[in-house]
Structure 1
Amino acid sequence: MTIFEGPATSAPGLSVLETVITFLVIPTAMFVGIAVIAYALTAPKKSKTSSAITSIQ
């Protein structure tokens, strides 16, 4: 009985396009998406004009 099992088999490698998409495009898109959501939730609000419903003149 040995502690070694059979030779490890490796998975097929990624192509250049798959590597670029996986490690560059997807993380960049996620960063931009999260940044846009964070900005949309914390952006300064525009001042609203007074309405006839909310103010008495």
Structure 2
Amino acid sequence: MLNNLVSGLSMINQEDGTIPGPALSALETVITFVIVPTALFLVISLIAYAATADRKKSEKSVITHIE
């Protein structure tokens, strides 16, 4: 009886006429749903930080400033 319930659960989300694609391996799943989003977040964060970070003030040079 339990096997009938479990096998019925896998069919709940499938629509008529759909053919499921190949399954992802555990490594592909981790790369797709953990590593890629984390890397994108870090890249976007670094770009935003670099674009809005305070600029280093240039020190007065002997060539451009006379005391």
Q: Aligned pair 1:31/2:31, yes or no?
A: no
**Structure 1: which 5+ runs fail to align?**
1-5
The alignment covers a number of residue pairs equal to 52
Q: Sequence identity, in percent?
A: 50
TM-score, normalising length: structure 2 = 0.64
Match of 1:22 in 2: 32
**Structure 2: which 5+ runs fail to align?**
1-15
Tell me how far 1:40 sits from its aligned partner.
0.7
Match of 2:10 in 1: none
Task: From the two aligned structures, give the one with the greater helix fraction.
Answer: 2
Q: RMSD over aligned Cα, in angstroms?
A: 1.8
Tell me how far 1:7 sits from its aligned partner.
4.9
> Segments of 4+ in structure 1 off by > 4 A?
none
Taking the TM superposition and a 5 Å limit, the aligned residue runs for 1:31-50 are: 31-50=41-60
Residue 8 to residue 51, structure 1, CA distance change in 2 (3 Å): same
TM-score, normalising length: structure 1 = 0.74
How many Å separate the matches in 2 of 1:46 and 1:8? Answer: 58
